[in-house]
């Protein structure tokens, strides 16, 4: 598929963090879209940033996240950092006047999420959490089937995402950086149930295996009650077979 022509005023993007999702998903999409340009990437060292800029074909490299936020040629940032760093850099991006696409999970608790939302509202910038599946055309079909009653009344959602992460040095096993199955994979099941029912659960029962070195969950599961006989079962694991 050939790339469409660029519009007169595309959104100019900067990338904070050099993870695989940014490299293999976000950046190729930004380069392809006629609505966006890939301007800059930032890492904790200028050497890593320059190497990543060459790989993803970004125009500029910055040796710190703060320097990218000072770049006047960047309108919006994708924050692909570990979960535990999302709050700080989302708020700092908002204060710098940048729109924010923050990787999921948005925050480690509701209070942090509210602070992020308020900072972006005060700065009059957009904030979006990176649950990309919501924008896939297949899900438009699913939502239409449910809305039109083609499958009858929906009363139960079952969803799960499972994988095996054996690298113990990975940030997903760090409590400080917001690791664990809930924030990384189980959150998808919770998110899709909320989307399909179009409401928030009124009660939740959850269990988790927290027997890791730092006490983050390797596997978690939740039963969510959405009221009126509607419920969901959400599961996720970083320590089992690959399945979703």
Cβ neighbour number for residue 135 with a 10 Å cutoff: 9
| Rounded Cα–Cα distance for residues 35 and 149 (Å) | 35
**Active-site residue among 52, 57, 98, 104?**
104
- Residue 104 among the catalytic residues: yes
| Rounded Cα–Cα distance for residues 193 and 131 (Å) | 13
Distances (CA, A) of 228 to 63, 190, 206: 53, 18, 20
| Rounded Cα–Cα distance for residues 39 and 226 (Å) | 43
Q: Which pairs count as long-range contacts for 27-30, CB under 8 Å and 24+ apart, including other chains? A: 27/56, 27/57, 27/58
| Rounded Cα–Cα distance for residues 195 and 236 (Å) | 18
Pairing of strands 156-164, 127-129: unpaired
Residue 86: strand pairing partners: none
Q: Is the dihedral of CA 70, 61, 22, 43 positive or negative?
A: negative
Q: Which residues belong to the active site?
A: 104
């Amino acid at each position: 598929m050939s790339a469409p022509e660029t519009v007169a005023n595309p959104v100019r993007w900067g990338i904070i963090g050099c993870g695989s999702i940014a490299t293999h998903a976000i950046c190729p999409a930004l380069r392809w879209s006629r609505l966006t340009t890939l301007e800059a990437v930032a890492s904790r060292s200028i050497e890593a940033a320059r190497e990543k800029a060459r790989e993803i074909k970004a125009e500029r490299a910055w040796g710190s996240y703060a320097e990218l936020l000072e770049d006047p040629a960047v309108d919006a940032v994708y924050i692909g950092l570990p979960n535990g760093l999302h709050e700080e850099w989302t708020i700092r991006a908002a204060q710098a006047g940048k729109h924010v696409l923050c990787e999921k999970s948005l925050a480690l608790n509701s209070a942090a999420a509210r602070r992020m939302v308020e900072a972006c509202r005060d700065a009059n910038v957009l904030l979006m959490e990176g649950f990309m599946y919501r924008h896939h055309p297949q899900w438009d079909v699913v939502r239409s089937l449910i809305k039109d009653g083609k499958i009858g009344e929906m009363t139960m959602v079952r969803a799960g995402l499972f994988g095996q992460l054996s690298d113990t040095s990975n940030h997903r096993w760090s409590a400080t950086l917001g690791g664990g199955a809930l924030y990384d994979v189980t959150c998808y099941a919770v998110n899709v149930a909320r989307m399909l029912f179009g409401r928030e659960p009124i009660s939740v029962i959850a269990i988790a295996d927290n027997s890791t070195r730092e006490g983050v969950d390797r596997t978690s599961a939740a039963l969510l009650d959405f009221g009126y006989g509607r419920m969901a079962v959400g599961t996720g694991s970083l320590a089992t077979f690959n399945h979703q």
